[in-house]
Structure 1
Amino acid sequence: MIFSFDSIAPGHGNYIDNPYEIIEWTIQHRLDREEKVFKKLSKLGATGINRLLISVYNDVNPKLLPICKMEP
């Protein structure tokens, strides 16, 4: 990591006292999700966003899919 700090206070959620662990987990989680998107697109071919969301975020409560749609 470029920065050195003991904790972080995100804009939402709890205070984080193990920032490096959380940052590494978050990066890996996003990379894993991205890989899942590529695999699903390869399998599904041309499809709509809603079908892709259901397929990629099948491990998420369906009520949260609108939020997933807004993720970068």
Structure 2
Amino acid sequence: MKLYITIFVMVLLLLIAFAFGSQNDQLITLNYLVAKTTMPVAMAVSIFTGLGFILGLVFMLLINLLKPLKRKQNKG
């Protein structure tokens, strides 16, 4: 049940971020090390929010997968 609540809250925050981004149609310029690109604020917010969400899920899954291994090491 806790997992469902967490996923619901995360999806809700993601939707709020997308709604915020859709209200901002101004263009911004992103400077990379070797390139530069211009995109709407909505696209930048969506990309970076989505990347943060995915990275958070990956790290959460890694931590949860490593917990049983640590328990086995502590027992043995």
TM-score of the aligned structures, taking structure 2 as reference length? 0.45
Higher relative CO (Cα under 8 Å, sequence separation at least 6) belongs to 2
Give the TM-score, by structure 1 length: 0.47
Larger helix fraction of residues: 2
Structure label with greater radius of gyration: 2
